[in-house]
A and B are shown apart, each in its own frame.
Chain A
Amino acid sequence: MSQNYYQKEIETMSTEEMKKLQSEKLVKQVKHVYENVPYYRNLMDEKGVTPEDIKDIDDLHKLPFLTKADLRDAYPYGLLAKPLDECVRIQSTSGTTGRRVVAFYTQHDVDLWEDCCARAITAAGGTKKDVCQVAYGYGLFTGGAGLHGGSHKVGSLTLPMSSGNTERQIQFMTDLGATILCCTPSYAAYIGESLKEQGYKPEDIPLKAGIFGAEPWTEEMRKGIEKALGIKAYDIYGLTETSGPGVAFECSEQSGMHVNEDHFYAEIIDPETGEVLPEGSKGELVFTSLDKEAFPLLRYRTRDICVLSRKKCSCGRTLIKMAKPMGRTDDMLIIRGVNVFPSQIETVLLNEGYEPNYQIIVDRVNNNDTFEVNVEMTPEKFTDKVSEILSMEKSLAGAMKIMLGINPSVHLVAPKSITRSEGKAVRVIDKRKLI
């Protein structure tokens, strides 16, 4: 397969040149942050590091880490490095861990982000001749905006569908001959099922590739989607904190994602000690933006457990590759093959107006995982009608199904009835004996 690159010079740059480019950018980026972000300047001062200590990319380890907690503390403007009148956009997280992150962009930041997405689309075989259906949510969520911008840059005909309304998705897909689909993998699977229900065969639709991300998915899921839609399914990685999707993307090899390391430098650290681990080690993924203006983050801990590799890639790209994240430093569960983070449950609860007082109970009965979520009833939600409480449980289960892809059985329970040990609620009870 012949390879197309969106920015060939960067994407196939030699490791030495890349290091030089990263070093030059990092020195400037650190100076910019130190001068404009008092929050991070304090962290550096506490650690006794000055911008002068950062002479090249190998000095990166001297800098302090940023965590989700820092973003929360600094919300909303504490990490902003440009005056607001130079910013042109904000995006925000879905609040996967319960708190929103608001990221700011200058036009330069939007451009580099869209370039990253354009690289991803091109790597998936996208050109100006393609029709790119963007079925990620539009709005604060970075998925829609990022791939939309990337598709424009590639010059594809962009269908700004946003998520949902599957019937309309399918109508546009078939009537307008979409060749590339961008959405979450679970939505891609759902579209696949809906197409089948409507009597379409994979060969009836012109789709050839899909770019799927924003949630964990497995190789099995990839195979299923590829078969159902008759496409190649490519993974894309990103987080609102760094820009959005496009921090890393898959190429024709479909084994690991190339990190756009001219913009985002990746490190793997030991999550316990913070020590940088050598290439090939499993640890926590840390990103440093190298040339962002409005919302630069230095050494941001993603909590994703990951491995980096510089092994030569058949696609010709020299950008370092990251494996699909293989877990989290927080307490992820795998239930019926699906990754479930307690934080996702928490997000649903907050979105639905509940307190984050819940307990997940997982068991295995007849080789099947059972998945229960107990949620404490709140004074605001409490009603004297049994039918309403039952329908609240049902609607919570529905919202969790949308977030997680699997259906829990939800029980509303009395306040403070969830087991607490030493004052801290026990969030997860896993009764499965899998060994």
Chain B
Amino acid sequence: MAIKQLTVFVQNRKGTVVSLTDILAKNNINIRALSIAETEEFGILRLIVDNEDTAKEILKENGYLIKTIDVVGVKLRDNPGALTAALGVLDKADINVEYLYAFMARTEKHAYVVLRVEDNDAAETALENAGLHLITNADICKL
């Protein structure tokens, strides 16, 4: 069920992100979600793309340090309190969220959240038991 997230290690330097997105663009890869964690020295790009295998290959060829990480995706109602409720479920199940990022869909009235946790299965079970709808790479690509 988990979503494949590409994770790229880059220097925190001018032009780093644009040169990476440029490579993806030239290879016709569409970025569906992107989050950047940065420190003074380095940054970690977390990407969900429409074709992660090709993206991974191309970035590797271009010398990027890249890793695929399984993350959990969940679909939420687009209203106040929905994220709190979802996080409450995980908290209750004693699942720690390392990081998360959220995005809105263009047409639907939903929000989507990508969660990085230690135990994907446990998180997915907890969310599903709470009646929440999990999403996959395919779902994200369809948005």
Contacts and interface: CB of A to CB of B under 8 A. Distances in A.
Interface of A: 377, 379, 382-386, 389-390, 411-417
30 contacts: A377-B65, A379-B65, A379-B67, A382-B7, A382-B9, A382-B65, A382-B67, A383-B7, A384-B5, A384-B69, A384-B116, A385-B98, A385-B99, A386-B44, A389-B39, A389-B44, A411-B41, A411-B42, A412-B41, A412-B42, A413-B11, A413-B41, A413-B42, A414-B10, A414-B11, A414-B42, A414-B65, A415-B63, A415-B65, A417-B11
Contact of A389 (B10, B11, B42): B42
B18 interface: no
A393 to B, nearest CB: 9
Contacts of B5: 384
Interface residues of B, number: 19
Contacts of A411: 41-42
Interface in B1-24: 5, 7, 9-11
Contacts of A383: 7, 67
B98 A414 contact: no
A415 B61 CA distance: 12
Contacts, number: 46
A415 B64 CA distance: 7
Given A377-B65, A417-B11, A384 B42 contact: no
B23 to A, nearest CB: 14
B37 interface: yes
Which secondary structure dominates chain B's binding surface?
A: strand
B46 interface: yes
A382 B42 CA distance: 12
Contact of A390 (B39, B64, B98, B99): B39
Interface string B31-42: 000000101011
B117 to A, nearest CB: 11
Contacts of B65: 377, 379, 382, 414-415
Nearest to B40: A411
Contacts of A385: 44, 98-99, 116
Interface in B63-107: 63-65, 67, 69, 98-99
Given A412-B41, A413-B42, 9 more contacts: A384-B46, A384-B67, A385-B44, A385-B98, A386-B44, A412-B42, A414-B64, A415-B63, A417-B11
B63 A416 contact: yes
Contacts of B41: 411-413
B118 to A, nearest CB: 10
A72 B46 CA distance: 43
A274 to B, nearest CB: 41
Contacts of B67: 379, 382-384
Nearest to B38: A386
A384 B116 CA distance: 9
Given A377-B65, A384-B67, A384-B116, A414 B9 contact: yes
Nearest to A379: B65
A383 B67 CA distance: 8
A412 B5 CA distance: 22
A411 B10 CA distance: 12
Contacts of B37: 386
Contacts of B7: 382-384
A384 B35 CA distance: 11
Contacts of A412: 9, 41-42
A69 B124 CA distance: 55
Give the 9 A-B CB pairs with smallest separation, nearest first. Answer: A384-B7, A386-B37, A411-B41, A384-B69, A415-B65, A414-B11, A416-B63, A377-B9, A382-B65
Contacts of B39: 386, 389-390
Q: Which of A377, A412, A416 has the most CB of B within 10 A?
A: A412
